[in-house]
Amino acid sequence: MLLPAQLTHAEASACAHMLVLSLRAQADQAVVADASALQRFDSSALAVLLECRREAAALGKTLSVKAMPARLRELAALYGIGELLPAAP
């Protein structure tokens, strides 16, 4: 699942919907959200990733995040949710 270059409050709802649909379509049990394209974001990006994590768990899947920008990882740690969004191997 590829996150867009911009993921702020304005894009969060549509992005979450798109990513959840993608997650449901994947046969793999271990799903990776690729954040390498993410350049402009706010804390809404974390909300989107948490929504994907909840959906993955409901489907019996796991979610990890590849190439999460350092600033977003810092926000996740600040909010105490860093461990909920593990880095992809």
pLDDT truncated to tens, each residue of the chain (89 aa)? 999 999 999 999 999 999 999 999 999 999 999 999 999 999 999 999 999 999 999 999 999 999 999 999 999 999 999 999 999 98
Yes or no: say if 52 and 77 are a contact pair by the CB < 8 Å rule.
Answer: no
What is the structure's pLDDT at 31? 95
pTM over 0.75: yes
Question: Which CATH code for domain 6-80?
Answer: 3.30.750.24
* Those residues with Cβ within 8 angstroms of residue 36's Cβ, 6 or more apart along the chain or in another chain: 2, 66, 67
Strand partners, 7: 41
What is the structure's pLDDT at 29? 95
Distance CA 86, CA 35 (A): 12
Each domain of the chain, given as residue ranges in start order, spans 6-80
